[in-house]
Structure 1
Amino acid sequence: MTAMRAMRPEDLQAVLAIQLACYGTGFVEDGALIVRRLAAAPRTGWVVEHAGRVAAYLAAYPSRVGKLTALHGDFEVLPETQADALYLHDLAVDPAASGHGLGPALVRHALAFADTAGWRRSALVSVQSSLGFWERHGYAVHALADAAQQARLASYPAPAHYMVRT
């Protein structure tokens, strides 16, 4: 059985374990940082429980197109009324649960949430050869004109691509 729900602080250990399994040590973000992010954007973090445990998660927040979070950076959450996009910062599925459509289900859920909130766009940074996955979900590479945002993008190991979906 599979169930999607809001991410909670008690999910932290499962999220950290999924990060490590998916990304390796270079991408794993600190537990205290994840807790701060969840507190900053509690309505836009979700997990999927599969086979009795947290098997996938998505951490997102209200933002504006052209603005992104650096790797290991805090979320700069906009008030929902000022946002024009949902920024998807981190989507990961435990490799043991791959093939069950958990990642795409989380993306669909997030986009439906964004639509309900009135945000017609979504943005993210594609890493670890995930470009094709995101393109299949309607995202396209988007140039960043602002030098500060380009520096944030450069905080991710290459290749990293800023992408937007309208």
Structure 2
Amino acid sequence: MTSTPSLRPLHPSDAPELDRLQRLAYGDGLQEPTAALLSKITLAPEFCFGAPADAPGRLAAYLLAHPWPSQESPGLARVLTALPERADALHLHDVAVDPAHSGRGIASALISALVDAAIAHGFDLITLVAVQDAAPFWEKQGFCPIRPAVGYDEGALFMERRVGKGAVS
């Protein structure tokens, strides 16, 4: 039987691990500046989680999310200085898993933690942009494709998932 991965809040001191995991997950194509990632943690720490690896100070994976308007995406590489007042959804900005830890349910555990946090904070919608042909993975996580995403690679899709009272059984 597989145990549930342990999770913890992310902190600015995790910056080197975020950079390392980005490189492993995305190669050189979709890496964002450290400042862009840290801005999500600074503005919305209650929606940013890490899965510790076995080695001290290492992460096996992370998830970054923040409140945002439901019909928009903040785009890549954007350093957020404030959250929009009209944020009516959570935007799941990024999930990255070290390939050495894939297949252990870590991404699913991170997404489950985000769903719980969304509901606890009164959000009933989570949005994301699926890149690198990841839409099938996100569909398995309960997300539905809405439209092509503007400003991303070809094939990127804007997707959403209803949670809490807004979820369809």
TM-score (norm 2): 0.85
Q: 2:135 aligns with which of 131, 151, 165?
A: 131
Unaligned runs of 5+ in 2: 163-169
Alignment pair present for 1:104 and 2:100: no
Alignment pair present for 1:119 and 2:123: yes
Letter in 1 for 2:71: G
Partner Cα distance (2:41, 2:121) in 1: 18
Q: 1:77 aligns with which of 61, 83, 86?
A: 83
RMSD: 1.7
Shift of 1:43: 1.7
Residue 150 of structure 1 corresponds to: none
Would the aligned equivalents of 1:88 and 1:123 in 2 still touch at CA under 8 Å?
yes
Would the aligned equivalents of 1:45 and 1:58 in 2 still touch at CA under 8 Å?
yes
TM-score (norm 1): 0.86
Letter in 1 for 2:152: Y
Residue 52 of structure 2 corresponds to: 49
* Runs of 4+ with deviation above 3 angstroms: none
Alignment pair present for 1:159 and 2:159: no
Letter in 1 for 2:64: A
Which stretch of structure 1 is more off in the superposition, 104-113 or 28-37? 28-37
Partner Cα distance (1:112, 1:37) in 2: 18
Number of aligned residue pairs = 156
Shift of 1:128: 0.9
Partner Cα distance (2:88, 2:74) in 1: 16
